[in-house]
Amino acid sequence: MARAAVSGGLKLRRTWRSAAVVERRPETPTACTLVLDVPEWPGHLAGQHVDVRLTAPDGYQAARSYSLAAPSDGLRIQITVQAVPDGEVSSYLVSDALPGDSVEVRGPVGGWFVWRSEHSGPVLLIAGGSGVVPLMAMIRTRAMRPEPDEGRASANSAHINSAPFRLIYSVRTPQDRIYYDELRRRAVEDGGLEVKFLYTRAAAADEPRPAGRISIDDLVSHGITAELQPTCYVCGPTGFVETVADLLIFLGHDPSRIRTERFGPSGP
Amino acid sequence: MGIFTRGFSGRRRESSRQLPPGQYLTDDFPVLSAGPTPRIPLDAWQFTVTTELGQTHQWSWPELMSLPAESITTDIHCVTRWSKLDTAWRGVSLDTLLAEVDTEAEYAMAHSYGGYTTNLPLEDLLDGKAWVAFEYDGDGLAAEHGGPARLLVPHLYFWKSAKWVRGIELMLQDSAGFWEQLGYHDYGDPWREQRYQGD
């Protein structure tokens, strides 16, 4: 089950621990989800990341941060890694890591770009490319949030007291969509969740919107109006995040309710 | 330790000099910010030093431009693990800005347009170690990189080099800034790999 809060203390969170790859799940031609078993994982908040460290036989080490893609399942965590050109850690994780392999992790890390399941206000999620990963953790965490009265069965809790969640997800082409089937299924099953895909280079066959970068019209049509004071989480490449954050401010959103996470061309 | 990652050899890049532990080289200039980029018109820009007694010293943009500026070439190290070598800046030394300020403070809080804060010992801002920088690579500093002016404290992790800086608050006692409250290190020395609290 998801942990509502981070526990386990600072010392545990900053210690490098051995983790075993238990599953790999290709998401797109260049992105892969890895499920890791981490002894004593202290739990984490949706939106946090984890440092992953690889060690070569001669002792050379390389570490990078990756967003956690889902609430923890006991001691199991998930990361979704996009291979970046020349990325020495990402290309290993996407192309080479297999179940049974060992890496090291430490974390969780980051306390700002997080969504806490006790928050019931509306949430607008805007992702560019692999920026969807921490936002997916928020969507998955929301789906398993306990009812206010915690003793009751939680099987259908996703339909109770659900704050509106909207995801606008910009990708280059349909084959670049991460979590496509799951997002479609969740949007159908859960009336509180809406998902809109935008395509910048080649649109899906059933998509009337022509391919193009995210625009103010997209935010007006598929976002949440500033009057409802949603918390906005924007994650993607720097240029994308700059554009979207500026548009949100132009539409009247308070800058203090816009949380951003950016990665450059050589970022994690 | 004794853990090896099967099949991993790494893609080490030759570096002309040693990097702090856990860092890798980049030629890009990645951006890391917690929120939207503030846009500050130069005619509204002000830089304010506030002492522990509440005395203030203020500079407008033309006043900052009239101060002696220095060219700085330095390596920068981001806590997200990229390092960039030989970055070229132009700015006014904090020694110049603090020269006339009367204070007993040992700590400083940098304040930014947009609400960002970060804390540093005052001595890390003095003796040629810190600047209010307004040019990068020969051009005016772009807003996404902290323009019109940012703090430049290159011997610490780069989150200490507050973008969109609008002032320095001098403090008798240390107090945590934005990332420091969220678990990042109070000092942030890249050579001692002080990324998170407790490192």
Compute how many other C-beta atoms are within 10 angstroms of the C-beta atom of residue B32: 19
> Which class for B176: exposed (0-12), middle (13-18), buried (19 or more C-beta within 10 A)?
middle
Q: Which of A91, A92, A254 to probe the B interface (max B CBs under 10 A)?
A: A92
Taking a C-beta distance cutoff of 8 angstroms, is the pair B24, B130 a contact?
Answer: no
CB–CB contact A266 B28 (8 Å) = yes
pLDDT 10s digits, B45-59: 999 999 999 999 999
- Chain B residues close to A45, C-beta within 8 Å: none
Interface of B with A in 15-74 (CB under 8 A): 22, 24, 26-38
Residue A62: closest CA among B183, B82, B120, B29:
B82
pLDDT on residue A267: 34
Report yes or no: A196 and A226 within 8 Å, Cβ to Cβ: no
End-to-end CA distance of chain A: 27
**Whole-number Å distance between alpha carbons of B104 and A169:** 52
Give the lowest-confidence range in A57-61, A253-257, B85-89, B103-107.
A57-61
Which residues face A30 on adjacent strands?
Answer: none
How big is the CA angle at A195 (ends A190 and A200), to the nearest 5 degrees? Answer: 165
Q: How many Å apart are CA A14 and CA A154, to the nearest integer? A: 33
Does any CB of chain B come closer than 8 Å to the CB of residue A85? no
Name the residue among A60, A96, A265 with its Cβ closest to that of B12: A60
Backbone angles phi, psi at B56, to 5 degrees: -120, 150
Closest Cα of chain A to B145: distance in Å? 11
Q: What is the rounded distance in angstroms from the CA atom of residue B165 to the CA atom of residue B54? A: 19
Q: Which residues of chain A have pLDDT under 70?
A: 1-12, 145-162, 264-268
| B99 within 8 A of B122, measured Cβ to Cβ | no
| End-to-end Cα, chain B, rounded Å | 17
More confident residue, B12 or B132: B132
* Number of CB atoms found within 10 A of residue B65's CB: 12
Residue B132's nearest CA partner among B168, B158, B186 is B168
Residue among B144, B184, B181, B182 at smallest CA distance from B164: B144
Interchain contact, B35 vs A109, CB within 8 Å: no
A187 near A195, Cβ under 8 Å? yes
Check residue A10 and give its pLDDT. 63
Which residues lie closer than 8 Å to A120 by C-beta, 6 or more apart? Answer: A161, A163
Question: Hey, what are A123's tokens?
Answer: 């949430």
Q: How far is CA A220 from the centre of its chain?
A: 23
ipTM: 0.81
**Model pLDDT, residue A193:** 95
The total number of residues written for chain B in this structure: 199
Question: What angle (nearest 5°) sits at the alpha carbon of residue A112, between those of residues A107 and A114?
Answer: 75
Residues A93 and A175: their CA atoms lie apart, in Å, by: 20
Chain A residues with beta carbon closer than 8 angstroms to that of B12: 60
The answer to whether B198 contacts A111, with C-beta atoms less than 8 Å apart, is: no
What average pLDDT score do residues B81-102 get? 95
Q: Which CATH number fits domain A123-263: 3.30.450.20, 3.40.50.80, 1.10.3720.10, 3.40.50.720?
A: 3.40.50.80
pLDDT at position A266 = 36
User: Which of A109, A238, A259 has its CB closest to that of B31?
Assistant: A238
Q: Does A55 sit within 8 Å of B29, measured CB to CB?
A: no
**Is some CB atom of chain B closer than 8 A to the CB atom of A73?**
no
Nearest to B125 by CA among B114, B133, B115: B133
Confidence band for B11, pLDDT divided at 50, 70 and 90: confident
Q: Report chain B residues whose CB lies below 8 A from the CB of A248.
A: 36
Chain A segment 196-255 residues within 8 A of B by beta carbon are 238, 242, 245-246, 248-249, 255
Asked if B118 contacts B177 with a C-beta cutoff of 8 angstroms, the reply is yes
SS3 track for A141-196: HHHCCCCCCCCCCCCCHHHCCCCCEEEEEEECCHHHCCCHHHHHHHHHHCCCEEEE
Per-residue pLDDT band for B71 (boundaries 50, 70, 90) equals: very high
| Chain B positions in Cβ-Cβ contact with residue A13 (cut-off 8 Å) | 196
**Is residue B14 less than 8 Å (CB to CB) from chain A?**
no
What is the number of CB-based contacts under 8 A between chain A and chain B?
Answer: 121
Residues of B in contact with A60 (CB under 8 A): 9-10, 12
Mutation target vs B (from A6, A11, A12, A14; most B CBs, 10 A cutoff): A14
**What pLDDT is recorded for position A151?**
46
Tell if the CB–CB gap between A56 and B182 is shorter than 8 Å: no
Phi and psi at residue B60, to the nearest 5°: -85, 175
How far is Cα B174 from Cα B108, in angstroms, rounded to an integer?
8
Task: Report the percentage of chain B scoring pLDDT > 90.
Answer: 81
Give CATH superfamily name and number for B24-28+43-192.
Oxidoreductase, molybdopterin-binding domain (3.90.420.10)
- For residue A20, the chain B residue with the least C-alpha distance is B5
What gap in Å lies between CA A175 and CA A171, rounded to an integer?
9
pLDDT at B33: 77
Cβ of A268 and B7 within 8 Å? no
Q: Does domain A9-109 have CATH number 2.40.30.10?
A: yes
Residue the block writes with tokens 């890249």: B190
CB atoms within 10 A of CB A82: 23
Residue A5: its pLDDT value, please? 42
Give the minimum alpha-carbon distance from A175 to chain B in angstroms, rounded to a whole number: 26
> Where residue B92 falls among pLDDT bands split at 50, 70, 90?
very high
- C-alpha dihedral sign at A92, A94, A95, A100: positive
Which among A220, A218, A219, A223 has a CA at the least distance from the CA of A208?
A218
Whether A17 and chain B come into contact, CB under 8 Å, resolves to: no
Q: What is the mean pLDDT of chain B?
A: 93
For residue B13, pLDDT beyond 80: no
The predicted pLDDT at position B2 comes to: 62
Domain ranges in chain A are: 9-109, 123-263
Name residues whose C-beta falls within 8 Å of residue B117's C-beta, 6 or more positions apart in sequence: B109, B110, B111, B162, B177, B178
What average pLDDT score do residues B169-185 get? 94
Does residue A47 contact residue A113 with C-beta atoms inside 8 Å?
Answer: yes
Q: What does the pLDDT read at residue A145?
A: 65
| B172 shares contact with chain A (CB less than 8 Å) | no
Q: What is the distance in angstroms between the Cα of B88 and the nearest Cα belonging to chain A?
A: 20
Nearest CA in chain B to A110: B182
Phi, psi angle pair for A106, to nearest 5°: -145, 145
pLDDT value, residue A157: 44
